[in-house]
Amino acid sequence: MTNSIPAVLVLENGEFYHGFAFGDTSVESTGEVVFNTAMSGYEEVLTDPSYKGQMVVFTYPMIGNYGITEQDGESSNIHLEGIVVKEYSKSYSNWRAVKSLDTFLKEHKKIGIEGIDTRKLVRSVRSAGTLRGIITTSQKEIETLTSIVKNLPSMEGQNLSTEVSRTSIEKHQPKGNIHHRVALIDFGLKNAILDNLLKRNCEVIIVPGSITIEELLQLPIDGVFISNGPGDPASMKTEILLIQNIIEKLPVPIYGICLGHQLLGLAFGASTYKLKYGHHGVNHPIKNLLKQTIEITSQNHGFAVTTETLPVEIEQTHINLNDGTLAGLQHRTKPIASVQYHPESSPGPHDSWYFFDQFVEELEKKREKK
């Protein structure tokens, strides 16, 4: 092992895994334990706001070998609570890297644990479902730590978007001419979503998730894009009402990704439910029912929209081929659509970039009708 400070991961079902700590070894981390199957992209995972409240188990056996860059982060902070790996690579090699993963974790006061049998741990989570856990270097008894974990709040009922959303409006200009102006609602926004809109010559006005419909109506926008984010979508009553008001009062294209997809479903009267262990990785097959094609996608969500509760005006457009869950929807007559995966990838395949092109096409149609 590259470190000598003993640490332990304890789960709510009483299982425990001894290992060694890295990162900020003085902190104690708690949260929902999920696993990510990506073979690369740990920097993007660490900085993805959707992981707020969760500890991530990386199934790839070695993490940290290409360090941390200044370009690849999805936000300016580490949002997850801690990481679990089989082996942390103390040395790294990458011409763009500016620091080690260990240093990055220390800067953000986050802990990691290595030397864990991650295959066994993932099999446990797959069998039992998502479990709460704690990573600590303390010498407390396992029974004491298990009791602490059992008293942690469940992810269900938590609105975590308020902890990661921006609190003020930001304007971002594309490098080329401005073709459209888009309000991007930040519920836990990934930078790659912003980048994809800018590349398509959109001026992007990022607005906080707490914005009111009155404030939004004052903005000169041609469309609305609803971001990803963490937590339980059903707990976001104010945000659901906001989206219902947008649908009613703003006759513009409205698109959503991940949490944005779930909130659109809820705004139309559908329901959501918690998945057994969620979808976290870059290798999930999706069937596009409209084009009859298959996409390999990047995913990160723990909740899904219940297909059977979709109202008649909403049709299913995509399906997850691993478990049959709803992966996309659209309004039958209005330019409103969403997907339950990450078309911006980062990390992951680029099969679904067309989702942003489709949004811009709807903006063009709207402009032509004026």
The boundaries of every CATH 3.40.50.880 domain in the chain are: 161-369
Do 185 and 228 touch, CB atoms closer than 8 A? no
Q: What is the pLDDT of residue 8?
A: 98
Arithmetic mean of pLDDT, 225-252: 98
Residue 108 annotated in active site: no
Q: What is the pLDDT of residues 165-198, one digit of tens each?
A: 999 999 999 999 999 999 999 999 999 999 999 9
DSSP assignment of 160-222 equals -GGGTS-SS-EEE--SS---EEEEEEESS--HHHHHHHHHTTEEEEEEETT--HHHHHTS--S
Active-site residue identified among 74, 87, 295, 344: 344
CA distance 263 to 258: 9
Q: What is the pLDDT of residues 120-164, one digit of tens each?
A: 999 999 999 999 999 999 999 999 999 999 999 999 999 999 999
Active-site residue identified among 239, 258, 261, 280: 258
Residue 279 annotated in active site: no
Q: What is the pLDDT of residues 268-311, one digit of tens each?
A: 999 999 999 999 999 999 999 999 999 999 999 999 999 999 99
Arithmetic mean of pLDDT, 91-106: 97
When pLDDT is cut at 50, 70 and 90, the band that residue 368 belongs to is: confident
CATH C-level class of 6-150: alpha beta
Q: What is the pLDDT of residue 1?
A: 46
CA distance 319 to 92: 39
Residue 258 annotated in active site: yes
Q: What is the pLDDT of residues 46-70, one digit of tens each?
A: 999 999 999 999 999 999 999 999 8
- Residue % of the chain over a pLDDT of 90: 97
Active-site residue identified among 280, 318, 342, 362: 342
Q: At what angle do helices 259-267 and 237-249 cross, to 10 degrees?
A: 70
The boundaries of every CATH 3.50.30.20 domain in the chain are: 6-150
Q: What is the pLDDT of residue 370?
A: 67
Please determine, looking at this structure, whether the domain spanning 161-369 carries the CATH number 3.40.50.880. yes
